[in-house]
Amino acid sequence: MMKQRIVQCLKSLTVHTIMLSSNKKKEVVSNLCSSPAPLTSHLPDGLSRRRQEFSVSSSRNRFSICIFQHSLSSMAPRKKLQGLVAATVTPMTPDGQINLSVIRQYVDYLVSKQNVKNIFVNGTTGEGLALSVQERKQLAEEWVHQGKDKLDHVIIHVGALSLLESQELARHAAAIGASGIAVMAPFFFKPTNKDELIAFLRAVASEAPAVPFYYYHIPPLTGVKIRVEELLDGIKEQIPTFQGVKFSDTDLLDLAQCINKNDREEFVFLYGVDEQLLSALAIGANGAVGSTYNYLGQKNNMMLQAFAQHDLALARKYQFLTGEFLNFVIKLGFGVAQTKAVMTFVSGIPMGPPRLPLVQASEEFITKAKAKLDGIVWPTN
């Protein structure tokens, strides 16, 4: 099989993607599958083959060869991950298939309408755990491809109940040039202590040893309540690529202890409870990852700006108004399905239904939520 002929570069540090024509695709696949010659002999003309290895990945719309350069000095400097990160919705067709065709429009909408240039793909909002491995790969490829030169960071959530699947997704994210990977704790067979959790995280992170790694802490869904403060002790020695935490819990004491210990600002802490973001900023969070930033990104950016300018009264206004909307829809029943509905009427991009067992938002919800959001009077200064 083709996959058995592909070299996975565990020390890949830069990625160059070459778009291939359909004929070239067939030629390369044929060569890879049949020839005992070194894989690098099948690179398209014009590419240097000096100490390079590559892997092949494909999706419905394109086929790419990813070339890995083995040189730490060649790694391009990355911008610091901070500010707002939109936890992206996974667009689906009416019959429940992933809809890659609208992702380019989605990227442009986030950048131009919400001023959000960081995304978190295949997480909770993206229904990642309800998708197949192949679907998750296709989505990751499309977001990275469409976000090139438009987005600052594309973080791919690669967590799964199966360690092998999570490792496969981590290798794939590295191959396509993702800015970072994130992993939540497995939640059927759960780790019961820090050492067990770190062992799982390390086993995934080691498959993408040049890619920044983030722990996705979401105990309300995983049931894994190991405190992050405890997890951080000595974690760099265990996971050299560890960069920070998506902290999706209301335990601000735990978050505060993490930030207090992070006096050298070695790690980033991105808060994941949208209605409490201002509280997390006051403690010292670097930014936030959330679904709300898909459709209220601009307003929350204004809150971040007010906070940075020490205008706490204005920052509060934005937080209270965001909270007013979320409080209203939570009382109606609010989850991933309803987030998709809100995103559809705010962005004009059809997000489609969720995947079972989630069910589509009702027309009553859509009417009430739209009226509430339209009726909010935001600060003008």
Cα-Cα-Cα-Cα dihedral sign, residues 269, 274, 279, 281: positive
Give 262's contacts (C-beta < 8 A, 6+ positions apart): 232, 269
In the chain, the amino acid numbered 90 is T
Tokens representing 221 are 């869904």
Active-site residue flag, 117: no
Give the whole-angstrom CA distance, residue 338 versus residue 117. 23
Active-site residue flag, 246: yes
- The catalytic residue among 214, 215, 216, 271 is 216
Are 156 and 121 in contact, with CB atoms under 8 Å apart? yes
Give 357's contacts (C-beta < 8 A, 6+ positions apart): none
In the chain, the amino acid numbered 45 is D
Helix spans in the chain (H): 22-34, 103-113, 133-147, 163-176, 194-205, 219-222, 228-232, 235-238, 252-261, 277-283, 297-308, 312-332, 336-347, 363-375
Give 58's contacts (C-beta < 8 A, 6+ positions apart): 25, 64
Which backbone phi and psi does 340 adopt, to 5 degrees?
A: -60, -40
- The catalytic residue among 117, 214, 215, 246 is 246
Are 182 and 120 in contact, with CB atoms under 8 Å apart? yes
Are 98 and 131 in contact, with CB atoms under 8 Å apart? yes
HSE-up of residue 283 (Cα within 13 Å, Cβ side) = 26
The CA angle 359-363-364, to the nearest 5 degrees, is 110
Give the whole-angstrom CA distance, residue 28 versus residue 39. 10
Tokens representing 10 are 């565990």
Name residue, tokens 């006051």.
Answer: 282
Give the whole-angstrom CA distance, residue 6 versus residue 151. 29
Q: Which residue numbers are catalytic?
A: 216, 246
